[in-house]
Amino acid sequence: MTFTNMQYTEFDSTNQTLISDLLDKILLSASWSKISSTSVQATTTALSAAAATTLTFTSGVPAATFVVNQVIRIGEKGAADCEYRTITAIAATTVTVAALTYSHASGTNVYVGNEVLKATTTRGADMIVDLMDTHITPLASNLNLAAWKAHTGAVNGGTGRNQRYAYWRASAAPAATNIVHCIVSVSKEHLFISLEGPRYNETGAESATLGSSRNYFAIGDVVPYFGGDTVPVVCSIGKSVTGATGNFPQDLFVNVSQNAGATANWPQARLMTLANPANGIAGSMNFTRQTAGDGNWYLSPYVVMEDINGERGRLAPFHFAGYVNPDYLDSVVASPPIGAKVTYSSQLYKILAMNKTATAISQYGPFGLLSNASGSSNNVAIAVPCT
């Protein structure tokens, strides 16, 4: 299928400007809009120094404007001193937050910090993603995202929350100016975000030889297999447990926005695809053989399988493309052409490698069960829609 309002961007950001840059790139697709407020909520009336834990306002403003546990954005989008915090307490003239990274002058504008974006698929399912579900500092090197079943855009206006995380650096936090390598693929039917920290020859790399971690988040349309399955749904894909270390098997699960009976939000599921039968820990046997016998590269569909209700349908936007560095190579079986573009069913795709790590940990992901421990070049490859 050809995806409407398709946009694909590879770009470099920093720990500090990442949220702003992601917003800009996602909103290049006319199918997506920002539904959380962009208006000033309040303006500070006193200096808040770096490391301070309060912001000061005119008397009565905090209680009338904010709520405890609300995420706020302090300063202008993308500015050098812009940061996000969660309100932990409210008094007559102040709100309490975690220690500030930057100094903020009197007169600083404060905004709603939740960055909620929405698109509706052709089938009628809402894709709702909050890029800032809970606050992170520029030095955290991760996104705390959430997919929602429904959201008004207002503070605390969401129902049916599915938490996801994306880490681009697993070890000690880098500087706010360190580079983050980003990929955003977005259309009316999907959103895909890949984030990778500094590479081996760049400032702030986790490893001088392996570079930094790479992680992803995705959400996309599910094409139902059964005529009786009339509930339009999307699949939320990505790391589901906080912390950069791989968590088995939790990091392999995906979630479907609603079950077939429309009685439960985000039932647990898994992505299945064509693969050799394997038993127990014999993961090395679980390689899909990609043939180059006719000069073509073959992609396999992902099937969304609910743990309770079974098969729901095909994950429309993404395809399994094989493994990097499989257990053996010969003249027929070859590693996927990472970075190459292929056309499939009239849509252009780019073959990308998924999770990687630069430390002595493993990384797992729903697109493929492959432990990518330190020093290993093994990786799962998928085909992502591109332009």
Q: 309-319: buried (b, 16+ CB within 10 Å) or exposed (e) per residue?
A: eebbbebbbbb
Q: 327-344: buried (b, 16+ CB within 10 Å) or exposed (e) per residue?
A: eeeeeebebbeeeeebee
Q: For the chain, report the end-to-end CA distance as a whole number of angstroms.
A: 14
Residue labelled with tokens 């570079």: 211
State the pLDDT at residue 244. 80
Tell me if residue 212 falls in helix, strand or coil: coil
Q: Round to whole Å and give the CA distance between 357 and 338.
A: 17
Tell me if residue 56 falls in helix, strand or coil: strand
Query: 23, 131 in Cβ contact below 8 A?
Result: yes
State the pLDDT at residue 277. 60
DSSP label at residue 64: H
What domains are there in the chain, each with its CATH number? 7-32+115-385 (no CATH), 40-112 (2.40.30)
Quickly list H helices, the chain: 18-26, 61-65
The 10s digit of each residue's pLDDT in 98-155 is 999 999 999 999 999 999 999 999 999 999 999 999 887 766 789 999 999 999 999 9
State the pLDDT at residue 282. 46
State the pLDDT at residue 174. 78
Give the chain's residues under pLDDT 50. Answer: 281-286, 288, 331-332
Calculated CA dihedral for residues 39, 133, 153, 101, nearest 10 degrees: -10
Q: Round to whole Å and give the CA distance between 125 and 148.
A: 11
pTM exceeds 0.75: yes
State the pLDDT at residue 361. 78
Length of the chain in terms of residues written: 387
